[in-house]
Chain A
């Protein structure tokens, strides 16, 4: 379990910082995966910042962090027109290629109502990267 965890009281259970490495240990657009409090979690560094999510696709449970990360995706358009939007930071599942926004876990183009579980990430002044997760129910802080 992560040592050096810092608690911040928020909405009932506290947010706990779990340090997962330093900035330079993260290759751009390549997830690194961890087990944090028994949960499979992936952390990725992108041009739009760091993101973290649960390493489980809401569709059929694939390890979504083995998927492709990109800033931007194709958006709805007329047939045979290809319109790209750089508005969103995306992970595409390695299986059926469902895409999810890494900021809020929303399925792109309404492919599903289920959300990818996401976590906040903080980088401190020493370049240490932390995933913020709510502590388990009943766990002391």
Chain B
């Protein structure tokens, strides 16, 4: 008469996951449910910029393209009713423990709040308070959470100062740049890359939600999308721009130890784009003569991609071909995107979407090569 009420039966998934090497999830999203908790760590001027001055503005719709349902998983609301990703303890219980994740790279897309701000110094100050908060609340709670240093793309001097402040702190594994209106291959970014290389901190890029929505955010070339599906399908485009700009801008020639992680921009476009770039390089009229290697040759040494959202072609062998062409055995790392609406389940991705030869590389090895000791394993 009394069937057992269950919370979540993950037995089968966990058993599968246990047969894989220690899993590293390169995209877990923390959020600060109420950013005003950062106020005590900011100057009055920066706080005014960040939180407004209680002057209501009725005529601005902040979001060009609202999400059709929610950008977050419906089952990941926190026990206290907070938004998914706002409770690090609950995220351990719902995701990190059941999926046997050994290290999770925290990608705080909320840092993208500063993209449209006109006040660069306030942006840097806000991000410093934000970084400290996530380190304390998440990595401080559990060392499997690996924090990043979020920096402003508009304030290289402030960014370097923030990198120097936190690079030596246990639990830091990378540098997150919210993608704004600056092409990342520009030399104005080089002080940031110099510091990143010096400290062995990979540069992490991930769409922030500002793309095609806000002023100063990356646009979608050719005209703005009008609907969420259109925008979502085109999010590869900013990733391609970062990729092209950093290679042709010479970032990896200047800083050969620099690593770039392109998270959630898709992966299957990399090889065809490189074919075009290689040909452009070979046919170049001298503009690219400073590059020491052809674009493809930077891929395995300097660039990493993450799996989610992994394209779902009609036959998985089509995907496997594209993965081989992009040297996935060296360049691809697992990511779930927890707790966003399009979370990928690690067991499904690793065991039924990827060929066996790639599983251990994607689940573990490539991330260890990229982040090294900073994963705390």
Q: Which residues of A contact B (CB under 8 A)?
A: 1-4, 18-20, 32-36, 40-41, 55, 60-63, 66-68, 79-80, 92, 94-97
Contact = CB atoms under 8 A, between A and B. Distances in A.
Contacts of A63: 8-9, 75
Contact of A95 (B1, B13, B343, B347): B343
Contacts of B69: 68, 92, 97
B341 A67 contact: no
Given A4-B1, A68-B74, A33 B6 contact: yes
A15 B8 CA distance: 26
Interface residues of B, number: 23
The SS class assigned to the A binding surface is loop
Contacts of B342: 95-96
A60 to B, nearest CB: 4
B6 A66 contact: no
Can you list the 8 inter-chain pairs with the closest CB atoms, starting with the nearest?
A: A94-B74, A66-B75, A34-B3, A94-B75, A60-B345, A3-B1, A60-B348, A35-B4
B167 to A, nearest CB: 36
Given A34-B4, A61-B345, 7 more contacts: A3-B2, A4-B1, A20-B3, A34-B3, A62-B345, A94-B74, A96-B341
Contacts of A20: 3
Contacts of B1: 2-4, 19
Interface in B339-360: 341-345, 347-348
A1 B2 CA distance: 7
Contact of A80 (B8, B74, B226, B347): B226
B11 to A, nearest CB: 10
Interface string B1-45: 111111011000100000000000000000000000000000000
B227 A36 contact: no
B3 A95 contact: no
The SS class assigned to the B binding surface is loop
A4 B3 CA distance: 12
9 contacts: A34-B3, A34-B5, A40-B9, A66-B75, A67-B75, A92-B74, A94-B74, A95-B341, A95-B342
A61 B348 contact: yes
Contacts of A18: 3
A67 B6 contact: no
Nearest to B340: A95
Nearest to A4: B1
Nearest to A57: B345
Nearest to B13: A61
Nearest to B9: A40
Contacts of B343: 62, 95
Contacts of B344: 60
A66 B345 contact: no
> Of B13, B75, B226, B342, which is in contact with the most chain A CB atoms at under 10 Å from its CB?
B75
A3 B1 CA distance: 4
Nearest to A64: B75
B133 interface: no
A66 B75 CA distance: 6
A31 to B, nearest CB: 11
Contacts of B6: 33-35, 40, 55
> Of A4, A20, A33, A67, which is in contact with the most chain B CB atoms at under 10 Å from its CB?
A33
B49 interface: no
Contact of A79 (B4, B9, B13, B227): B227
Nearest to A61: B345
Contacts of A66: 74-75
Contacts of B226: 79-80
Contacts of B3: 1-2, 18, 20, 34-36, 41
A26 to B, nearest CB: 13
B199 interface: no
A90 to B, nearest CB: 12
> Of B9, B226, B341, B343, which is in contact with the most chain A CB atoms at under 10 Å from its CB?
B9
A126 to B, nearest CB: 13
A33 B3 CA distance: 9
A96 B4 CA distance: 27
A94 B73 contact: yes
A82 to B, nearest CB: 10
Contacts of A92: 69, 74
B65 to A, nearest CB: 12
Interface in B71-117: 73-76
Contacts of A95: 73, 75, 341-343
Contacts of A96: 341-342
